[in-house]
Amino acid sequence: MLYSQRFGKDLDRKTAFEYAQKLFRAIELTYVQMSVADFKNLQKRRKETKPDSHH
C-alpha cells in the first residue's frame, strides 16, 4: 500500500516482501546505536559547525 501510494505502482505480496526485506537490511547496515553521551557530543558538534544564517 505504501509503495503504491508513493510510486503509483501496485506490487504483488512476494515482491512487496522482497522490497521490505531489502529496505530493512539497508537500515540495519546503516543504523548505528549511540550512547547518550555520543548523542550530546553530536548535537554540540552540529551547533558548532552550523552555518551562520545571517550572511
Give the whole-angstrom CA distance, residue 4 versus residue 19: 13
Domain segments of the chain as ranges: 2-49
Give the whole-angstrom CA distance, residue 4 versus residue 2: 5
Digit-coded pLDDT (tens) for 6-50 = 999 999 999 999 999 999 999 999 988 889 999 999 999 999 998
Helix (H, G, I), strand (E, B) or coil at 49: helix
Quickly state the pLDDT bin for 1 (edges 50, 70, 90).
Answer: confident
The pTM (predicted TM-score) of the whole model is 0.53
Q: Which among 15, 31, 52, 37 has a CA at the least distance from the CA of 4? A: 15
Whole-number pLDDT of residue 55: 53
Helix (H, G, I), strand (E, B) or coil at 37: helix
Whole-number pLDDT of residue 31: 87
